[in-house]
A and B are shown apart, each in its own frame.
Chain A
């Protein structure tokens, strides 16, 4: 390289003869085209490559499921974990509540005119069976909360969460956002599920009927 060149100067384009050389100064000064060195490949490296390839074969064999189009688990014995130890309902409830924040918001205040609040709502802090019934089956249509009318759709959670999770989230919302009602036992959810689990979403009237007919 020309790192030791003197300070560059400008040169005026010379007349025809020199001009061709001048134009190609870069092409003339460059090194010859690259050649191949012929160092041998280290044998240890080749052995490593071979071993590594064997690992690849082993990994495919061990993790390819059953090679079918519907064999999605890479190992047939990838058993789901056993039943989890019971959790603190307030912790589990907070986790489940993440699914509710879309509408009822993280602060439990809902969205004015659209999604009812949980904070200070009689439906939350009142009858435990009625709360469980709402959580399990959801709500459809006009609905009054604290004197305000709402018209929206609450999804049914019965296929998504088990009794423990529903009880936990009920317990959580009854004790959060300033609410101060007691916990909901898993057995209550279990009983309500048995009673009305097959029904569709509640209407306001239907829910009142259910609550009244203890």
Chain B
């Protein structure tokens, strides 16, 4: 009698319980055995993000970079991810074992960033690009993140806590209203550190398939 009353509800509940078990719980259980590997220089891969990099990751999330940039490289022969130099190999589950929240992303209004730190290690480039993407990438439709920088005119004193080495010159043709130099602020610096740390070039064995 009760079963007849609740039959519909029970059946419906079972459908969703089945899919969450099959698609989330079982794969998660399959990933449990993943361990980081030791690189030639003694460091480990992958490593959890900490310090500046973790702070930068929070900025990446807060600014919503995921809505235009993915962080996953598809295999050779499926799309042109590797030929576009977005990575040296495909991404595998182990690359993400410490990622919380995940930032895989499903949109490429801009290029994939899974290994941006590998193909673009220059902090200067990242700073100029974040300050105004049109400096380094003419025609880009990425927003400016000028609020991650302190703008300086010639002769301005350094902002508190910045070193002379942090100052970045804006190429002359992009200088506006006397602003000639930039210093990334705390968040900007952290974000650049995080972007430079995005690197999936270590050849994990399961990535060779």
Asked if chains A and B are in direct contact (CB within 8 A), the reply is yes
User: Which residues from B are CB-within-8-Å of A69?
Assistant: 27, 30-31, 33-34, 93
Q: Kindly specify which of A6-14, A32-40, A109-117, A202-210 makes contact with the partner chain.
A: A109-117
B119 and A72 contacting across the interface, CB-CB below 8 Å: no
Whether, in the assembled complex, B145 has its beta carbon less than 8 Å from a beta carbon of chain A, the answer is: no
A99-113, CB < 8 A from B: 99, 102-103, 105-106, 111-113
Does A153 count as interface, using CB distance less than 8 angstroms?
A: yes
Write the residues of chain A forming the contact surface with B, with a CB cutoff of 8 angstroms: 68-73, 78, 80-81, 95-96, 98-99, 102-103, 105-106, 111-115, 151-155, 159-160
Pairs A–B under 8 Å by Cβ, sample size 14: A69-B30, A69-B31, A71-B209, A78-B77, A80-B76, A98-B84, A102-B129, A102-B137, A103-B122, A106-B138, A111-B128, A153-B124, A155-B119, A155-B121
Interface pair B92/A70, CB less than 8 Å apart = yes
Q: Tell me the minimal C-beta distance from B50 to chain A in angstroms.
A: 23
User: Complex: how many Å from CA A160 to CA B199?
Assistant: 13
Interface residues of B (CB under 8 A from A): 27, 30-31, 33-34, 75-77, 83-85, 88, 90, 92-94, 118-125, 128-129, 135-138, 168-169, 171-173, 201, 206, 209
Q: Which residues of A contact B128 (CB under 8 A)?
A: 111, 114
The CA of A153 and the CA of B135, in the complex, are separated in Å by 18
> Which A residues are CB-close (under 8 A) to B30?
68-69
Interface of A is mostly: loop
In the complex, the answer to whether B201 meets A159 with C-beta atoms within 8 Å is: yes
Find out whether the CB atom of B88 lies under 8 angstroms from the CB atom of A153.
no
Which of A72, A81, A113, A154 is B206 in contact with, Cβ under 8 Å? A72
Which of B76, B125, B138, B206 is in CB contact (< 8 Å) with A70? B206
- Nearest residue (CB) in A for B115 is A160
* Given A103-B122, A152-B124, 7 more pairs with CB closer than 8 A: A70-B92, A111-B128, A111-B171, A112-B171, A112-B172, A113-B169, A114-B128
Which residue of the partner chain, among A71, A73, A95, A154, contacts B75 with CB atoms under 8 Å?
A73
Q: How far is the CA of A96 from the CA of B84 in the complex (A)?
A: 8
**Once the chains bind, are B75 and A72 in contact (CB under 8 Å)?**
yes
B144 to chain A, nearest CB (A): 17
Closest to B78 in A: A78
**A-B pairs with lowest CB-CB distance, top 4:** A69-B30, A99-B85, A70-B206, A153-B122
On whether A152 and B122 interact (CB within 8 A), knowing A69-B27, A72-B92, A160-B85, the answer reads yes
On whether the beta carbons of B90 and A152 are closer than 8 Å, the reply is no
A160 to B136, CA, bound (A): 22
CB distance from A177 to the nearest CB of B (A): 16
Taken together as a complex, chains A and B put the C-alpha atoms of A42 and B121 apart, in Å, by 64
Q: What CA separation (Å) do A71 and B77 show in the bound complex? A: 17
Rounded to whole Å, the gap between the CB of A57 and the closest CB of chain B is: 15
Residues of chain B within 8 A of A105, CB atoms compared: 138
